[in-house]
Every structure is written in structure tokens, then in C-alpha cells.
Amino acid sequence: MYKKIDSGILQELEHIVGKKNLITERENMEDYGHDEIALSHMRNYPEVVLRPSTSKEISEILKLANKHLIPVVARGGGTGLAGGCVPVFGGIVISLEKMNKFLELDEENLMATMEAGVTLMKFHQTLQEKNLFFPPHPGEESATIGGIISTNAGGARAVKYGTVRNFVRSIEVVLPQGDIVKLGGKLLKDSSGYNLLHLMIGSEGTLGIVTKGTFSIMPIPKASLTLIIPFDDVSGALKSVPHILCSGILPLSIEFVSSELIIMTKEFLKKSWPVQVGNVYLLIILEGEDMEEVEKASMKVSEVCLSHKAIDVFVAESRDKQDEILEIRSKIYEALKSKTVEAIDIVLPRNQIEPHLKRLSEIEKEADMWLPTFGHAADGNLHTHISKFNLKGEYIEDWEKKYEDVRRAIHDDAIERGGKISGEHGIGFAKKEYLEIFTDKSLLQLMKGIKRTFDPNNILNPGKIFDLTQEKY
Amino acid sequence: MYKKIDSGILQELEHIVGKKNLITERENMEDYGHDEIALSHMRNYPEVVLRPSTSKEISEILKLANKHLIPVVARGGGTGLAGGCVPVFGGIVISLEKMNKFLELDEENLMATMEAGVTLMKFHQTLQEKNLFFPPHPGEESATIGGIISTNAGGARAVKYGTVRNFVRSIEVVLPQGDIVKLGGKLLKDSSGYNLLHLMIGSEGTLGIVTKGTFSIMPIPKASLTLIIPFDDVSGALKSVPHILCSGILPLSIEFVSSELIIMTKEFLKKSWPVQVGNVYLLIILEGEDMEEVEKASMKVSEVCLSHKAIDVFVAESRDKQDEILEIRSKIYEALKSKTVEAIDIVLPRNQIEPHLKRLSEIEKEADMWLPTFGHAADGNLHTHISKFNLKGEYIEDWEKKYEDVRRAIHDDAIERGGKISGEHGIGFAKKEYLEIFTDKSLLQLMKGIKRTFDPNNILNPGKIFDLTQEKY
């Protein structure tokens, strides 16, 4: 059904972006064929990589792609974990790397506008110089803002501030047929017709290519503390969480992680970790307008946790110490990467984490497969890593045979508990079978109908979220 | 194109909801034919009013309506200001008044679930008994939760907490063709396919009938203060706002209102108002975990305002005094109602309020029509009231001749400044021509395509947001 790109089309594309922004040599395309998921079948070469500099160029590319029926995939930082930017049908990859200008810092409206290729790191740094702050913090700072909008990225701070969705005020999008449109505005309220902005957020590049974004920002909170609270077991740790939140304290983040994973990560990073006791930690970040306020909150949190069998409470106050703890937490994924295949991303009602962990431990034993798990204790988003090792730490030669059953069992339990397949990574290519299985049929039909409305030729990121290439379109 | 309801259909409907929940007598239908908008053409009688008790009954009604091509409009509290629930094509009005059960208060997950007909007042009261709190506060407490979801209602607290959208976790919806589906879950993150929950929020009952809602809730903040800050003119008042927000203080609400409107409202309510100086007030509510924290914030706010020519700062500390101030503020609309025709609902970037007010004052003079205006100074949502009186306070006999020009001029200026037609009331019937005029053509086509996907027979709340009855469907 899709056409191959021939030399005539290539010439037209070169005319749009210029020779130096068009890549066709396989050896230079390696980086554009995959994201961070470790599964070997989740990669594919595009026929051509384009690096446009303007929305106008992207619009022209999409018009051409519609004319010739060529699939197009937009690519940001390539830090996804669901294969969302993999060009599974070949065709064109549009890399947004050259559209990386920070356009405006509007302090009166507390909003920042930038091109889609700006990285989170650049966004954070630019704000920091002005004592400003973008609350959502998806772990990987080389992600681009186009990517975090397209996946509705979350991160550890969602418990206080919500996901990226809550901060996106406006985007520029190139629609599949080439129209360049603006959704939203520098506005905090909007009830003017169907909210296409919120539909576009999290649609993983299947309904349009995000080319600019305007976000709400805030002054940096003036004081913060990081607490490490060790427990003997995960049960006490998790039971503390609703009590913390009901006490009126809303931490910036509440994470749980085993001491096993922390030890592994600190050794991987050659760093030190201040706490030697306990099997499970709660890591809690508190922030506020002054140290007194934060210390009061810290006392309350400590009280709650100690009454739920916390062994102790360690408080990190200096910026350096807090950053070191945060670094170890955020690099667990990297430390695990060589041993694991996929990071699961299920999200549950908060009070279902504990029973789900019990089920996980059963699955782990039944399959004799190590399933290291950590996650966001307050927002219910859990990252279980499917590994290639058994519980004794030995490599499983035939891990691929067990992989699908283990993966399915984890998702089955999450859905049964009122959860969903993806909290923050998206469906992409990796989880689309599960979306079909676990979604009400009439809702799936509506999603597919929306896709048809936006993209009648199914040229934009086809085969992601669901695969319509086999259906009547 | 739509069919009239004959005695056979009426019998089928009676079979679904029972005789006592079916109204056909005109004298008993009066209340079901309009909302709170004062324009006389924004009302119409339905052919029948139904009061179902379950989602199943609503599903059966919709299936019948599709079979016979009968328009259906869902109705909550009827407190809308855009004619959204008016049965403009006759047909069926489904009133959700009997679906008013508070279903669950889940303190572990901090979420509350109720049927769509529960009023905001009942919601607030139920929470208050447990020291819990639903932050969004659309002024009118007889609104129902189905209504506030369907309009993405806002209110004065959006500056701190955002609109209702930020708090909706899950809804049950009866889709136009009768499927009963659940969107979302007790989840704080979700990136599992297109976000139909967020599409449904604010779709004004045109894509489905909301029958249940689950919301995030919070512990009640333990301390609060209300500040009244008088200024000689609106300019200083508005200039203070970004400086307050940049100082790191995020008030629960920041409203501006003229002393003229406050005096009128306090006389209407026969209440007293503690401040005798100034022509314009900022009303600011601060909340926090203890009085010390709130008082510190109050000092900072005062400092900022006094440096921007505030005349003084009045602080209300007692619950009673704070409630009295809030009541006067929230009854301005009621005090104005007999003199005005329509409450405009434009929303602007915060820094555009002041220049827009300048333009408003020109429009007021050019038309010699009193245009009382107040609104949410921090979120840019302004309510100008188009009145039937001139600037001398005399009744304008031919106000209808001036009405459309004045209305258009206000909206033109808002759009020019990067604003939108509706911040929180919705488009409904009253503003659909403006949505057509002021929305990018390709976005309008997408909205209409979405409507067609959800509601192929165009039976659900037709003629709202846009009118597709004249278009090829």
C-alpha cells in the first residue's frame, strides 16, 4: 500500500530541506531507526532522514507524502521506551534536531515558548538562569519538548504537579495533510469548542507533528529537602503514603525503591549512598517558600513514616547531597539496562500498588525471572523491568520463551486492579497489541475514527498505538 | 430531518423510564427549556422530558433516538450561560436530576465518585464533613458535576489549581449510539492511547452523556486569609498581579472588581463591605498549612501591591468575614442580572487584560452602553456584561440594535490579543457563530469530523458548538 521513495521523490525532498539535511546512507541512519527500548525487533531503517528547519518545510514534506503515499515518522530526542519513533514501514523520518530554538521567556504571563527540538535540559537550564522552573520532570533530560508533549510524559513530580499535560498551554502543529495550526494560547482557561490541544497531547505523533510548544512555568521554590526513609519491607513504606498525603503535605515526589537496586546503581555510578539500613526506601522531596515551612513538613512526614515502622529518617539539606541522591535514583534505569529487556509502565490506583507487588513476586517465582521494580509510590506508576536473569542472578538462555507470558501476566494483574498499560511512556509500537486487548471495543473504534479524520491516508506514524494498515481505511 | 415524537415512540419511552418520569405537559416543562442566559430567543420547549435513574435507561433512550432520528439534550443544573442545554430542535430532554447519588469517598486514593446529577453544593458539603476539599469553584453551587465536566468549568480558583479538567480522573459516559463506557480510572497518569477523557471534558454534551464522575480531592488547607486591596485605578491593580505570582506566592484566587459593582451588590444583598476607599479592588485569597505561613504570604502580597500604588490592604481572618466577602463577590452576577443581557466569557493572556479594558471603555463610550466588567485577574478570564442601560443609567429602548455590534467588538479585541471566546462557560448555542468566525477552518473541520465519528446521526445536543444540520453529514 505505501510507495517506495524513488529518485524523483528524493529530488523533491531535497528541494524542500536542502541537500545537507537529507540523509540516505545507511551508515548515517543508524541513530534514526530506534529509541531506547532494548528489544532488537523494535528497530528499522527509514528510506530517508530529513532535518527540516521550519514548520513550512515540514508542511511541504507532509503534502508530498500524502501525494505519493509515503509513511512519515517525526523524531525528537529518541529517548522513548515504546518504539514510538521507529519507522516500522520505512519511508521518511523527520528529525526535529534543527528546530531547537528557545523562542520566548514571557515573565509577565509566566510562560515559555520554544521549538519542538529543544531538549528538556536546555529548557531547564534556560529557566534556571532566571530563577524559574518547569515542574514536570521526566527522568531523561535529552528528551525534547515535542516528545514530552507527544507522550504526555510524567516523571516523579506528577503527584504534586500532574503530567506535562497540565503545563502545555499552546502548541503549533503541522497536521497530516500539511496545514500548520496553533492550538490553545497563552491562556489558563479555555472552553472554546472541542479541546484539540488535549487530544493532540499524548497522541504520539500520529495526529500531527508538534513544532512549537508554550508551557506554564513558575518561580523556583526557594527551599527544599530530600528525605530517605528506610523500611524493613515495602508494605510499611507504601502504607505511609496515603497518610502523608492526607496530612495536608503534598511532596514534590514520593518514590519507592529497594536497597538492592540502589546498591547496584551507586556501584554502577561509583557514588556513595548515605543510608545503610533497611530493604526498601521511600525517597521524598519536599519544597516550599522557606526552610522553616519545609522543615515543618519534614517533621510531619517523619512522624507518619515512623508510626508505620520506618527504621529511621535521613534528611539531605545541601543542594549537592540532594542532587547526588536524585542522580542515583534517576540512573537506576541505566544501571539495569544491560540486564533487562523492557521497562513496563503500568499505572494503578495508589492503593493497588501493594497487592500488585505481591502478585509480581509470585510471577517472579513462577517464572524464575528477576523482575526488578521501582516507581512512583504516590501516583501509582510502576516500572517493572523484565530481565534476562533468574532469581539466582544467572543469565536465562531462553528468556525470550518466558518473556511474553511474564509480560502479559503483569499487565493482566494491573488491568484487573483498575490500572492501565501506560502511565507515561505511551503505547508506541511495543504495546499496541495490549491496547487492542485491554480497551473497550467502542472506544478503540472512536480512536481509530479520530485517526481517520485527521489522517485520511494514514501516512503519519502508521502502525503506532494501533495498526490500521490491515483495516479498511 | 429530525422526526417528531409520536404516541408510539412516547409509549416506548414510557416503557424505559416509567410513567412518572416522563413529562409532556407544557406547564411542567417550562423549567427544562432554558438555562441562565437572559436572551429570550435562547429557550425552546422539548417534546418530552425524561428523568431516568440509570445509565442503562439513558442507553436505551439513545438507541431509540437513533432509530427514530430524534434529537436528545442532556440537562444538569441548568445553570449554564451559553444555552448549552436548550433543546433548540425540540425532541427529548434527559434531566439527570434523579441520578444524584454520592457513590464513594475513597480516602486512600483521595478520590470521590458520584452520579452526574449531584450538585456542587452536595459535593462540597459531603467533603467538608470529612475535612476534604474539591479545589475548583465555579461560582454557582447548584451546578451539577455532569455540567461542570461538560463545560470544563473554571471559577476563581483556576490560577492555583487549574480548571475542572485537572481534577477529573474518570467518567462514565453513554455514547450517542448507546454504549456505556468508562474513560480514565483512579489514576494520576495515563498515556494509554488517545485521551478520550480529555476530549469529552468540555464537549458540552455533544459527544456523549456523562453519567458518573470520579474527581481528585485534597485535605482542606488548614489556614486562609482574604485580602481586599483598594486601588485608585485598575492599572495599578492589574500591574501588581504578575509581580505577586513571580514572588513565589500562588494565591487561591486573585479577582478584580470595581467599587461600583461591589456597592451595588452589597446593597442588593443588604450586606456590609469593610472598605470605603478606592475605585477598584483586588480580592485575594491565600491558603496554607498554618496561619504563620499564610501571614508571611500576606505580607509579601501587601508589599508588592503597596509598591504598585495600592491605597491600603484589608485583611479578613475570621471564617465569617471571609465568607461574607466571598458571597458579595460571587453574587455580583445575580445583582446585575436584571439589568444585563449576556455575560461575556472571553479569556486573554494575563498581560492583555489592561489594554483590553482600555478598549472596552472605548466601546462603552462609542455605544453609550454600560458594560460592567469584572473577572479573574490572574487567569485572564473576563466577564463583561452587556447591559440594557446607557452610561447615565437610563434604560436603552433599542438596546437590541446595539447589542450585536458591541458584542462583536469585544470579541474582536479579545481574539486580536491572543484570546479565546470562552474561558469557562462554553460555546453552547449562544456563541457558535463566533466559533465559526474565529477558529481556523482546518480545526473546525476536525471538530466536525470528531462529532461525526461519535454521533453519526447527529442526535446528541445538535446545534451546539456548531450546527451540522445544514451540512452534509
Please say which residue of B330, B352, B376 terminates a domain: B330
DSSP structure class, residue B373:
E
Assess whether A143 and A241 both reside in one domain: no
Contacts of A454 in chain B (CB under 8 A): 446, 449
Assess whether B212 and B115 both reside in one domain: yes
Amino acid residing at B423: G
Assess whether A296 and A378 both reside in one domain: no
Residue A371 phi, psi dihedral angles, 5° rounding: -125, 70
Distance from CA of B465 to the nearest CA of A (A): 6
Q: Residue A438 falls within a domain, yes or no?
A: no
Assess whether B236 and B268 both reside in one domain: yes
**How many residues are recorded in chain B?**
473
A290 lies within 8 A of chain B by CB: yes
Cβ contact, residue pair A185, B450, below 8 Å = no
Residue of B153, B193, B450 with shortest CB distance to A427: B193
Alpha helices of A100-144 — where are they, by DSSP H? Answer: 120-128
Assess whether B17 and B126 both reside in one domain: no
Cβ contact, residue pair A289, B293, below 8 Å = yes
A224 lies within 8 A of chain B by CB: no
Q: Closest residue of A to B223, CA-based?
A: A248
| CB interface of B with A, residues 32-61, below 8 Å | none
3-state secondary structure of B185: coil
Please give the pLDDT value at position A473.
54
Please give the pLDDT value at position B242.
94
Number of domains in chain A: 4
Buried b (16+ CB within 10 A) or exposed e, B310-333: bbebbbbeeeeebebbbebbbbbb
Assess whether A283 and A362 both reside in one domain: no
Residue A330 phi, psi dihedral angles, 5° rounding: -85, -10
Rounded to whole angstroms, how far apart are CA atoms A118 and A103? 10
* Residue B472 pLDDT class (50, 70, 90 cuts): low
Rounded to whole angstroms, how far apart are CA atoms B392 and A87? 68
* Nine-digit cell string for B93: 430532554
Please say which residue of A219, A236, A269 terminates a domain: A219
Please give the pLDDT value at position B340.
93
**Least confident span in A38-47, A243-252, B393-402:** A38-47
A188 lies within 8 A of chain B by CB: yes
Cβ contact, residue pair A219, B427, below 8 Å = no
Residue of B190, B192, B422 with shortest CB distance to A192: B422
Q: Is the pLDDT of residue B473 over 70?
A: no
Q: Which of A332, A334, A339, A341 is nearest to A430 (CA)?
A: A341
Rounded to whole angstroms, how far apart are CA atoms A409 and A356? 11
Assess whether A203 and A251 both reside in one domain: no
**CB contact at 8 A, A204 and A462:** no
- How many C-beta atoms lie closer than 10 Å to residue B28's C-beta? 10
3-state secondary structure of B20: helix
Q: How is chain A split among helix, strand and coil, in percent rounded to 5?
A: 40, 20, 40
**CB contact at 8 A, A390 and A396:** yes
Residue of B151, B158, B191 with shortest CB distance to A425: B191
- pLDDT tens-place string over residues A109-163: 999 999 999 999 999 999 999 999 999 999 889 999 999 999 999 999 999 999 9
Cβ contact, residue pair B293, A297, below 8 Å = no
3-state secondary structure of A13: helix
Q: Is the pLDDT of residue B38 over 90?
A: no
Assess whether B199 and B235 both reside in one domain: no
- pLDDT tens-place string over residues B259-310: 999 999 999 999 999 999 999 999 999 999 999 999 999 999 999 999 999 9
Question: Kind of pairing, strands B22-23 and A180-184?
Answer: unpaired
Residue B463 phi, psi dihedral angles, 5° rounding: 80, 10
Cβ contact, residue pair B193, A465, below 8 Å = yes
How far is the CA of B18 from the CAs of A416, B2, B91, B112, B361, in angstroms?
A: 36, 24, 18, 30, 55
Distance from CA of B396 to the nearest CA of A (A): 31
- pLDDT (average), residues A42-71: 97
Q: Which of A462, A464, A463 is nearest to A65 (CA)?
A: A462
- pLDDT tens-place string over residues A156-196: 999 999 999 999 999 999 999 999 999 999 999 999 999 99
Q: Residue B319 falls within a domain, yes or no?
A: yes
Q: Residue B473 falls within a domain, yes or no?
A: no
Q: Residue B441 falls within a domain, yes or no?
A: no
| CB interface of A with B, residues 321-360, below 8 Å | 345, 347-351
pLDDT above 70: percentage of residues in chain A: 100
Q: Residue B241 falls within a domain, yes or no?
A: yes
Q: Domain containing B79 — which CATH number?
A: 3.30.43.10
Q: Residue B446 falls within a domain, yes or no?
A: no
Q: Which of A52, A96, A44, A38 is nearest to A71 (CA)?
A: A44
Please give the pLDDT value at position A472.
63
CA A393 to chain centre: 29
B163 lies within 8 A of chain A by CB: yes
Rounded to whole angstroms, how far apart are CA atoms B262 and A93? 59
How far is the CA of B46 from the CAs of A69, B7, B57, in angstroms?
A: 49, 15, 19
Rounded to whole angstroms, how far apart are CA atoms A48 and B196? 34
Q: Domain containing B193 — which CATH number?
A: 3.30.465.10
Question: Kind of pairing, strands B168-174 and B218-219?
Answer: unpaired
Cβ contact, residue pair A422, B190, below 8 Å = yes
Cβ contact, residue pair B186, A349, below 8 Å = yes
- How many C-beta atoms lie closer than 10 Å to residue A365's C-beta? 11
* Residue A41 pLDDT class (50, 70, 90 cuts): confident
Global confidence as pTM: 0.97
Q: Closest residue of B to A151, CA-based?
A: B191
- pLDDT tens-place string over residues A345-379: 999 999 999 999 999 999 999 999 999 999 999 99
**CB contact at 8 A, A181 and B442:** yes
Please give the pLDDT value at position A40.
75
- pLDDT (average), residues A269-273: 94
- How many C-beta atoms lie closer than 10 Å to residue A240's C-beta? 25
Which residues are B168's β-sheet partners? B215
Q: Which of B139, B35, B165, B2 is nearest to B428 (CA)?
A: B35
Q: Which of A453, A385, A462 is nearest to A425 (CA)?
A: A385
Q: So what's the ipTM on this one?
A: 0.97
Q: Is the pLDDT of residue B234 over 90?
A: yes
A175 lies within 8 A of chain B by CB: yes
* Nine-digit cell string for A443: 472506544
Contacts of B152 in chain A (CB under 8 A): 190-191, 195
- pLDDT tens-place string over residues B138-147: 988 999 999 9
Residue of B166, B191, B419 with shortest CB distance to A423: B191
Cβ contact, residue pair A203, B190, below 8 Å = no
Contacts of B456 in chain A (CB under 8 A): none
pLDDT above 70: percentage of residues in chain B: 100
Rounded to whole angstroms, how far apart are CA atoms A350 and A382? 10
Torsion over CA: B55, B60, B66, B71 (sign): negative
Rounded to whole angstroms, how far apart are CA atoms B58 and B97? 13
- pLDDT tens-place string over residues B46-103: 999 999 999 999 999 999 999 999 999 999 999 999 999 999 999 999 999 999 999 9
Assess whether B277 and B247 both reside in one domain: yes
A108 lies within 8 A of chain B by CB: yes
DSSP structure class, residue A236:
H
Alpha helices of A153-258 — where are they, by DSSP H? Answer: 158-161, 196-200, 234-246
How far is the CA of A266 from the CAs of A270, A325, A346, B109, B278, in angstroms?
A: 6, 9, 26, 33, 61
Please say which residue of B401, B416, B431 terminates a domain: B416
Cβ contact, residue pair B297, A289, below 8 Å = yes
Q: Domain containing B284 — which CATH number?
A: 3.30.70.2190
Cβ contact, residue pair B195, A152, below 8 Å = yes
Assess whether B141 and B209 both reside in one domain: yes
Q: Residue B465 falls within a domain, yes or no?
A: no
Question: What are all long-range contacts of B439-443, with beta carbons under 8 Å and residues at least 24 apart?
Answer: B439/A192, B439/A193, B440/A179, B440/A181, B440/A182, B442/A175, B442/A179, B442/A181, B443/A181, B443/A183, B443/A196
Q: Residue A186 falls within a domain, yes or no?
A: yes
**CB contact at 8 A, B111 and B214:** yes
With residue B225 as reference, give the H or E element that holds it.
strand B223-231
Assess whether A206 and A121 both reside in one domain: yes
Residue entry with cell 484566587 = B253
Q: Is the pLDDT of residue A254 over 90?
A: yes
Range of the domain at B71: 7-98
What's the start-to-end Cα distance of chain B, in Å?
Answer: 11
Assess whether B377 and B323 both reside in one domain: no
Q: Domain containing B394 — which CATH number?
A: 3.30.70.2740
Q: Which of B281, B287, B374 is nearest to B322 (CA)?
A: B287
Please give the pLDDT value at position B469.
84
- Counted across chains A and B, CB pairs separated by less than 8 A come out at 261
Please give the pLDDT value at position B127.
97
Cβ contact, residue pair A380, B421, below 8 Å = no
For A6, how many CA atoms within 13 A lie in the half-sphere containing its CB?
5
Rounded to whole angstroms, how far apart are CA atoms A179 and A58? 10
Cβ contact, residue pair B187, A425, below 8 Å = no
